[in-house]
Amino acid sequence: MAFSSAFSNAFAGSGGAGGTTETGAVSVGLAVDVFDPAVFDASGGWVVSLSTVMVGAVDVSARLHGQIDIRAEEDIARIATVHVTPATVSELDGYDSAAITIDLTLTRGTQTGTVRRFTGVVEQVEFDPVSRIATLSCRDGYQERPRACGSAEEVAALFGGLAWPNDKLVPWNSDSPDPASYFAGLQDTFSGATFIDSLGLWRAVPWNIGTPMATLSAGDIFDGSLSVVRPSRADLPSAIRATLTHRLPRLHEAEVALSWTRPDRSLYVTKGIGVLDQATLMSALQGLSDWHIKSEVSLTHPEAPYSYPVIVGGQTVFYQISQQAAAVIIDAFTATAMRRWYQEVANRYIIDIPMGGRSTRDDSVSLAIASTFDSSGWESSRPTEQTIPIFSANAPAGLPLKTGYEGLQAPLPPVNSAVDHLADLTALDVHGAVNHTIARALRRAAAGKRKQRITFQRPLDPRWEIGAVLAVNAYGVSATGQVVGFSDTLDIDSGECVSEITLACPDGSGTTTGFTATVTLPSPSVTHALTAPAMTTHIGSDATDTPATPDPETMFGWLTNTLPTSTHYSASKAVYETQFRVATPIIPAAVRDPLTNDLSVTATITIAGSGITLGAF
């Protein structure tokens, strides 16, 4: 790091052994310029103004010409222009990038006051070889400070803890740091001004307007210099709306009970309908689209002795099933089908800041964050347990109790309900993003209201720094405001010395500019009460049981047919493809389609200021 002679020698250590150890004391000098306030009195009389300009270590005060201009505003570099006759060519060469300080001294009668008004570096030297005068354009290095930062923490520190960093909305790119851009992002959330003051110190001053440090009356202000400017329509809409949209998946899980029971066994004899075999059933269950069978399927097989009496035509006959066939024939089953799906939800946290303007133009701050989550992968994850029990009896001890959730990817929503999944975000992230958004809107609102300004000129008065609170009570104008800019002009040749000061006098609601916000993350109130259509047995090619026009939308369960050799057979009735049709319920659109929730934020917002009062005309 290169050190300028204008800066502290505090770092000059005495050296030490070993190369990695240094010793020394650090210090910084203080100078108190005691002045008589009468120096700044604007009453009649005369004032002598002098300036002491140090360029590097050279005092050029005696060789100044023309005007010295110093201009300062919030959030930009302070600039100064001086004209000087260099003593030598080497001195002229030495001006380039030299540190410069400008002290202004006023003498009124026997009283003298000196105020340092500028500390910076010479940005550009323009030399006129005819007049031998060099014009030095100087800046205070405002832009360089953020650019010199090497981390997000360093940039954030420039706001004195009063900005609202948020790595989701204003991320710091470690791979390709852009501190200037990051600084701008944080500045958008800072309800205050940053600048380098007259001493060269970085300042972050909140937009607070409390008790004025001085009250200026008509006698303190040049006649005709006072002006009142109201905010433009663009600066003052009717309201500024801050909206943070948080996109996240709402994870649903629903379960429905599936069951089927065989028809009366007599139909197997009288109509010759087919029996439901296990392979057909399991194929149907495992082939469900989007739905999965949770846990094990409870199967009921014919039981020994596999000979069942049935009444046919008033006679008892026996329906025989072999033991081997019974093992694959299904008399009944119960199962739980489950489905997971995600719903795209946009929670919009909204707050309106009334501005009182008549413009209806939409002036809003809209930001968005998103919970990053592989919702499709989550949705398609399946239970991994066997859908058919391995053991029908005497299962080995110690086997873990199955819950039906084995293999399912977390998170696990409550059964027949839903959960909003923040995924890679936390509740604090959302709160932080909401605060960041409100802070941006507040800065915009406060900045708009602060366009209500008064500007006046008075004899050179370098006492007031940006952020100072002054009151004006002159020419029927009464206002208390904060210095947002000044321009000092000192003419070496004529002796004219003027300060033009601009005060922001917003119509506010207090003495501070800030907010407090309370955010409550919504909790989904969702209850799924889905039911699957009943699954029964549908018999085709049957003179009595087959409808004339079967409705496929209601045909769920076991589809089979009457044998042609049966007396119940009808060649004219519909013949079904033998199969087991499983029905699952439809997911209602309300819990399936993208959803937007508008959520209000409870906040207290204040903008400092008491406005401008104008006397009766």
Partner 1 sequence: MALTFGFYSDPGLTTPAPALLAVPQSKSSPVPADLCLWFGSPAVGRLCQSQASPGVQQIAVSVANATPGSNSPATDVRLSKTLSGLGSATPGASLNLAASVQSGVAHAIPVYVRITNSLTTTGRRSNLSLATQTLVESS
Q: How far is the CB of 499 from partner 1 (least distance, A)?
A: 13
Q: Total binding residues for partner 1 by CB under 8 A?
A: 63
* 52 versus 364: smaller Cβ distance to partner 1: 52
Cα torsion through 37, 40, 45, 46, rounded to 10? 120
Indicate the SS3 state at residue 378.
Answer: helix
Q: How far is the CB of 160 from partner 1 (least distance, A)?
A: 7
- Closest approach, Cβ 53 to partner 1, in A, equals 14
Contact flag: residue 109 with partner 1 (CB under 8 A): no
Cα–Cα nearest to 159, from 185, 188, 194: 194
Q: Which range in 22-30, 340-348, 385-393, 543-551 contacts partner 1 by CB under 8 A?
A: 22-30
Task: With contacts defined by CB under 8 A, name the span among 110-118, 275-283, 384-392, 608-616 that binds partner 1.
Answer: 110-118
Tell which one of 13, 109, 210, 547 touches partner 1 (CB under 8 A). 13
Give the sign of the dihedral formed by CA 425, CA 431, CA 432, CA 435: positive
Q: Which of positions 500-539 make contact with partner 1 (CB under 8 A)? A: none
Judged by CB under 8 A, does residue 187 bind partner 1?
A: no
Q: Work out how close the CB of 146 gets to partner 1 at its nearest, in angstroms, rounded to a whole number.
A: 8
Q: Which residue stretch of 78-86, 111-119, 440-448, 598-606 sits at the interface with partner 1 (rule: CB under 8 A)?
A: 111-119
536-540 sheet: strands from edge to edge: 536-540, 557-561, 579-581
CB 482 within 8 A of CB 469: yes
Residue holding tokens 């066939």? 325
CB of 469 to partner 1, least distance (A): 10
206 preceded by a cis bond (ω within 30 of 0)? no
Task: Evaluate whether 454 touches 478 at the Cβ level (below 8 Å).
Answer: no
Integer Cα distance of 529 and 417 in angstroms: 9
Q: Which of 330, 214, 326, 204 is nearest to 263 (CA)?
A: 330
Q: Is 59 in the site for partner 1 (CB under 8 A)?
A: no
Minimum CB distance to partner 1 smaller for 21 or for 531 = 21
Minimum Å gap between C-beta 28 and partner 1 is 5
Provide the token pair at 90. 């080497």
Contact indicator for 351, 241 with CB cutoff of 8 Å: yes
167 interacts with partner 1 by CB under 8 A = no
- 172 counts as binding partner 1 under rule CB under 8 A: no
Backbone region of residue 556 per phi and psi (left: phi > 0; alpha: psi in -120 to 50; beta: other values): beta
d(CA 324, CA 333): 19
Q: Report the residue number, 30 or 304, with the smaller CB distance to partner 1.
A: 30
The β-bridge relationship of strands 417-420 and 612-614 is: unpaired
Considering only 65, 116, 348, 592, the residue that binds partner 1 (CB under 8 A) is 116
**CB-CB contact of 320 with 306 (8 Å):** yes
Q: Which residues of 220-259 are buried (b: 16+ CB within 10 A; e: fewer)?
A: bbeeeebebeebeeebbbebbebbbbbbbbbbbbbbbebe
Nearest distance in Å: CB 37, partner 1 = 5
Q: Does 494 bind partner 1 (CB under 8 A)?
A: no
CB of 87 vs partner 1, minimal distance in Å: 23
What CA–CA distances, in Å, run from 448 to 373, 506, 511, 517? 39, 9, 17, 21
Q: Give, in order, the Cα–Cα distances in Å from 487 to each of 109, 262, 467.
A: 25, 96, 14
Q: Residue 270 interacts with partner 1 (CB under 8 A)?
A: no
Q: Judge whether 482 and 468 are in contact, CB under 8 Å.
A: yes
- Residue 136 Cβ vs partner 1, minimum distance, rounded to whole Å: 18
Contact pattern from residue 288 through residue 317 relative to partner 1, giving x for each residue in contact according to CB under 8 A and a dash for the rest: ------------------------------
Binds partner 1 (CB under 8 A): choice among 463, 512, 533, 563: 463
- Is residue 563 at the binding interface for partner 1, with CB under 8 A as the rule? no
Binding partner 1 (rule: CB under 8 A), the pick from 23, 176, 394, 549 is: 23
Say if residues 228 and 612 touch (Cβ distance below 8 Å).
yes
What one-letter code names the amino acid at 241? R
β pairing state of 315-320 and 307-312: antiparallel
Least Å from the CB of residue 179 to partner 1: 9
Task: Please say which residue, 35 or 569, places its beta carbon nearer to partner 1.
Answer: 35
Rounded Cα–Cα distance for residues 39 and 48 (Å): 10
Please select the residue that binds partner 1; options are 130, 174, 176, 201, rule is CB under 8 A: 201
Site string for partner 1, 30-49 (x = CB under 8 A): xxxxxxxx------------
- Spatial CA neighbour of 328 closest among 275, 269, 387: 275
CB-nearer residue toward partner 1: 12 or 257: 12
Site string for partner 1, 123-162 (x = CB under 8 A): ------------------x--xxx-xx-x-xxx-xx-x--
- Shortest Å, Cβ 467 to partner 1: 11
CB of 356 to partner 1, least distance (A): 32
Stretch that binds partner 1, among 12-20, 251-259, 407-415, 539-547 (CB under 8 A): 12-20
Near partner 1 by CB under 8 A: residue from 3, 230, 390, 522: 3
Q: 210 or 476, CB closer to partner 1?
A: 210
416: left (phi over 0), alpha (psi -120 to 50) or beta: left
Contact residues toward partner 1 (CB under 8 A) are: 1, 3, 5-13, 15-16, 19-37, 101, 103, 111-116, 119, 141, 144-146, 148-149, 151, 153-155, 157-158, 160, 196, 199-203, 213, 462-463
